[in-house]
Structure 1
Amino acid sequence: MSYSPLLTDLYELTMLAGYFDQGMHERPAAFDLFFRQNPFRGGYAVFAGLDTALSYLEALSFSGEELAYLENLRIFKPDFLAYLADFRFTGSITAPPEGAVVFGGEPLITVEGGLAEAQFVETALLNIINFQTLAATKAARIKLAAGDATVLEFGLRRAQGPDGGLSAARAAFIGGVRSTSNVLAGMRYGIPVRGTHAHSWIMAFPDELAAFRCYANEFPDSCVLLIDTYDTLKCGLPNALTVARELKERGHDLAGVRIDSGDLAYLSRQVRAAFDEAGFPGVKIVASNELDENVIESMRREGSRIDIYGVGTRLATCAGEGGGALGGVYKLVSMDGEPKLKLTSDVAKATLPDRKKVLRALAPDGSFILDLIALRDEEILPGAVVFDPANPVQHVRIPEQARLVELRSMVMRDGARCVPTPDLERSADLASQQLQLLPDGCLRLVNPHIYKVSISSGLNTLRLKLMNHIQSKYRT
């Protein structure tokens, strides 16, 4: 998918014009993209959107029509517009693989290049990474709540626009929801497509049984019947049983039934019992209607017999406490090789300066112990003392038996991808594997264990030094 370079905030262009006019546009700079708090008040996030972001960067250029529009705004000089005519992204990108489990406070994407190009891509990268990471995380929470049951993404009609629907389906796949009702997402991303029929199908026929029979005749090997149009237990269920018997006589099996209203946990138990008693244990029960991880977990506690959850609105819109937006930010961390720091009165919101690496400490069994943000060239060994970024007085040691691995790698150099892009299946597998390696309690939906993200001694010292320098310069 290609995006116009005008998918940006105006201030990106005005800053570029200023950098260009001041002769600063080619000075080397580095920016970090990160978020401060895990979404949904949860214990983790699932990184997504990287491939989309890299495609945007590779194709970034201004068309004649777009330049004409900017000229008509009458705020940009002709020489700057001429510069934009040849504008391309030629920098580098360091990032985790899609599907990696990540946490608040640690750099996700580091963008390095000339000041102009590294600054300009801020808005688009935040738009892509913020939403897809949020949607992948929501999907992971829903899939974990569903246990062994299948989850389908049904959210296109409630998504925030066509692109939101596509991005949600893609990101949800990475998070573990590996099928969608969105046919375009199926074609574009290779995601399996699934669906049933609407209540209007039932209402378009003289009666419910006639509608069921017609649908079964059309799709005898993939028939899922919606049984709650009039009354789930009094007519929908008996009519579905009738069609199941008729399909069986013709050598086919009813694939499933869907319930879209009422007490889903109770109804699923009644429907399951009826199909089992009639000799159809293979018929799947699909449930939908404003589902999310909390509703699914509650229904499972009540003993529901649901095989497949169709999750739409609350997945595609990332609804829920602590959801709605990831809150990712994009901050300058280095310019001309010198570290840069944004300082506020809240130490927890002070940025982490300079170019960095993110290390993950693994236990001998491969499970995650903690993440560590360190200066790029800093040597870190097991046993090292590491610090809480929000309260540097607090510190711990990396266990001696830990193995340290880098979470990120360079994925784009000189404006071109430098590593193969994994397919979505591999990214989804990575997310599933890494979620199981988190410490106990991190996967809880409510009051999860807080995974430790620390900073190294070198980074802590540098940040304190820059803080003192800035405070002495501006706060005397």
Structure 2
Amino acid sequence: MIQEHSPLLTDLYQLTMMQAYYDKGMQEEAVFEFFFRDFPDNRRFLIACGLQQALQYLESIQFSDEDIDYLRRDGRFHDTFLNQLREFSFTGDIHAMAEGTIFFSHEPILRVTAPLPQAQLVETRLINILQFQTMIASKAARMTRLLPDTLLIDYGLRRSHGAEAGVMAARGAYCGGFAGTATVLAGKMFNIPTYGTMAHSFIQAHDSEEEAFYDFATSHPENCVLLLDTYNTERAVERVVTLSRKLKQQDITIKGVRLDSGDMVQLSKKVRTVLDENGLQEILIFASGDMDEYSLQKFVDNNAPVDGFGIGSKLTTSADHPYFDCAYKLVEFKGRGRRKLAESKSTWPGRKQVFRSFSKFSKFAGDILGLTDEQHGSTSLIHHYMKNGKTITPLPPLEEARAFAMEQMRQLPADIDRSAYRYPVTPSEKLEEYARQVTKELEERNR
């Protein structure tokens, strides 16, 4: 079983650099920032997610005797360094955007301030936590925006890339606006509403479809959703009509029916017609399958009468963009600004704040990327969450982060989806001047 707080959940070069830092006495304060570079063309914004797990990791990380023994057997590390690791704990500060915050390219969503070896070691796991949940929350938000009044449920655990990914995808999807998940452990861990009824195997295990429907309805009278497409969808909905009359005599109401294959746009219309003609307007239609925002668009374009969707593989893997270009970069060391100058991957030096302004209609009007000591008379997005290795600002429940994300989606500019539109993120004059100063110093020292 993977230990999610293990210090060995990292890249080897973090440890090799860490030993060199210790050997050379380089333990002064360093500042790293985590940000996303240019977004894919079809991602106009992202939603910050994963801060809770990042803070939990930083509070818990320590080297066990087994870890030390493994590193000793590896042969790359000397005993002095290994003995120092026995006393390791994270003692730094964390500033970050609140979970559920909408952000844009090159805006830092998390800042680590800690002794250099500590800040270096945690890079890999922090990227791992924050990139994934942010990616899934942002994918979910695209579907939420398309169908804001429709029940959207995460169905993706079974095809996720591992257990942790499946659970954290459920968390990210909920933050991005989904109504719940089929993953029971995510429901327990994060208080996410859970949804689920039956699989085709339940129908197949019975001698007849009618018997399967009746058995499930009487076993789950408050949550009776029947799967229609095991054999023949159109015959199945007729059976639902007949069964509904029988069940009403037992005070059981069929809550919904689910489609899982075929031309679900056309099938949903046929099913809705049959149900309505028989006075069963209260029965909802739920669809599941290989879906994402692109296939959901077809349901919208064709006015398909579907009340909810189960979204699986393409959500949990963010299938159209399964990774994002993000980075964790040193921006200050020993009180001096640091930056990367490489072509196409240059970075801004110094500790930064993101300042957001709003229009008179409470829509996002633009962001300023500035230094932390600046004042721009607008909303500051980065806040202090951890001091000396301990969380000082309790995170709100996930439900509040979800509500925050949904409110911000309503505040996005009207032009956000236009192909030529780019949300304005402007570096402040002070940041630009500081960057020129740091660049000059670096060039002089590295001639």
TM-score, L = length of structure 2: 0.97
Residue 379 of structure 1 deviates from its aligned partner by 3.6
1:19 pairs with one of 11, 21, 26: 21
Deviation track 1:10-39 (CA, whole Å, cap 9, x = no partner) reads 001011000001111x21110010011235
Verify the 8 A CA contact 1:43 1:448 in the aligned structure 2.
no
Distance across 2 between alignment mates of 1:244 and 1:42: 44
Distance across 1 between alignment mates of 2:272 and 2:419: 34
Residue 470 of structure 1 deviates from its aligned partner by 3.8
Alignment of 1:172-187 (within 5 A): 172-187=173-188
Amino acid at match of 1:360: R
Distance across 2 between alignment mates of 1:407 and 1:69: 41
Verify the 8 A CA contact 1:39 1:45 in the aligned structure 2.
no
SS at match of 1:464: helix
Residue 96 of structure 1 deviates from its aligned partner by 0.8
**RMSD of aligned Cα (Å):** 1.4
Which residue of 2 is the match for residue 414 of structure 1?
388
Which residue of 2 is the match for residue 66 of structure 1?
67
Which residue of 2 is the match for residue 78 of structure 1?
79
Alignment of 1:217-236 (within 5 A): 217-233=218-234, 235-236=235-236
Verify the 8 A CA contact 2:145 2:409 in the aligned structure 1.
no
Amino acid at match of 1:418: I
Verify the 8 A CA contact 1:94 1:111 in the aligned structure 2.
yes
SS at match of 2:181: coil
Q: Could you say if the C-alpha distance between residues 2 and 470 of structure 1 is closer, same or farther in structure 2, counting changes exceeding 3 Å?
A: closer
Alignment of 1:240-259 (within 5 A): 240-259=240-259
Residue 178 of structure 1 deviates from its aligned partner by 2.4
Distance across 1 between alignment mates of 2:420 and 2:79: 55
456-465 vs 101-110, greater mean Cα deviation: 456-465
Q: Does 1:463 align with 2:435?
A: yes
Residue 449 of structure 1 deviates from its aligned partner by 3.0
Distance across 1 between alignment mates of 2:393 and 2:255: 42
Residue 40 of structure 1 deviates from its aligned partner by 6.3
Distance across 1 between alignment mates of 2:192 and 2:84: 40
Q: Does 1:428 align with 2:402?
A: yes
Distance across 2 between alignment mates of 1:354 and 1:61: 29
Distance across 2 between alignment mates of 1:299 and 1:174: 24
Which residue of 2 is the match for residue 350 of structure 1?
346
Distance across 2 between alignment mates of 1:448 and 1:440: 13
Distance across 2 between alignment mates of 1:123 and 1:162: 19
Distance across 1 between alignment mates of 2:370 and 2:251: 64
Amino acid at match of 1:465: Q
Alignment of 1:333-412 (within 5 A): 333-346=331-344, 349-380=345-376, 404-412=378-386
> For structure 2, which runs of at least 5 residues remain unmatched after alignment?
none
Distance across 2 between alignment mates of 1:441 and 1:375: 28
Verify the 8 A CA contact 1:134 1:318 in the aligned structure 2.
yes
> For structure 1, which runs of at least 5 residues remain unmatched after alignment?
381-402
SS at match of 2:210: helix
Verify the 8 A CA contact 2:217 2:252 in the aligned structure 1.
no
Distance across 1 between alignment mates of 2:420 and 2:267: 31
Deviation track 1:180-209 (CA, whole Å, cap 9, x = no partner) reads 110111111111111121111111111211
Verify the 8 A CA contact 2:39 2:325 in the aligned structure 1.
no
Q: Could you say if the C-alpha distance between residues 40 and 86 of structure 1 is closer, same or farther in structure 2, counting changes exceeding 3 Å?
A: farther
Amino acid at match of 2:277: E
Distance across 1 between alignment mates of 2:6 and 2:244: 51
Distance across 2 between alignment mates of 1:227 and 1:448: 43
Verify the 8 A CA contact 1:30 1:335 in the aligned structure 2.
yes
Alignment of 1:83-122 (within 5 A): 83-122=84-123
Verify the 8 A CA contact 1:2 1:55 in the aligned structure 2.
no
Q: Does 1:332 align with 2:326?
A: no
Residue 467 of structure 1 deviates from its aligned partner by 2.9
Residue 438 of structure 1 deviates from its aligned partner by 1.0
Q: Does 1:28 align with 2:29?
A: yes
Residue 468 of structure 1 deviates from its aligned partner by 3.9
Q: Does 1:452 align with 2:424?
A: yes
Distance across 1 between alignment mates of 2:291 and 2:338: 45
Distance across 2 between alignment mates of 1:83 and 1:473: 32
SS at match of 1:288: strand
Verify the 8 A CA contact 1:260 1:289 in the aligned structure 2.
yes
Q: Does 1:159 align with 2:174?
A: no
SS at match of 1:167: helix
Distance across 1 between alignment mates of 2:7 and 2:177: 31
Deviation track 1:99-152 (CA, whole Å, cap 9, x = no partner) reads 010111111101001001111110000000000000000111111122311001
Identity across the alignment (%): 38
Residue 448 of structure 1 deviates from its aligned partner by 6.7
Amino acid at match of 1:463: A
Distance across 2 between alignment mates of 1:127 and 1:170: 15
